[in-house]
Amino acid sequence: MRNPEEELAFAKSMEAQYELIKVAFESGNEETFDQAILEVEQARSSLKKGILDMIQDD
């Protein structure tokens, strides 16, 4: 699990998101791939909703 600053950076970095998905895909493990997709979706959703910004402001 990332700290809020790392999560914000990850949510803003399509390159980091792509790398996570790429590594998961290359593993050949469907569960790992599903987890990577969900992690990216959650980070992007939190960014869009402003949740990560609220956490960082504390």
The parent domain of residue 48 ranges over: 4-57
Residue whose entry in the numeric block shows the structure tokens 């593993």: 27
Looking at the structure of the chain, the number of domains it has is: 1
> What is the predicted pLDDT for the residue at 53?
65
What are the pLDDT digits (tens) for 10-57? Answer: 999 999 999 999 999 999 999 999 999 999 999 999 888 887 666 665
CA distance 35 to 13: 18
CA distance 58 to 49: 16
Using left for φ > 0, alpha for ψ between -120 and 50, and beta otherwise, residue 18 falls in alpha
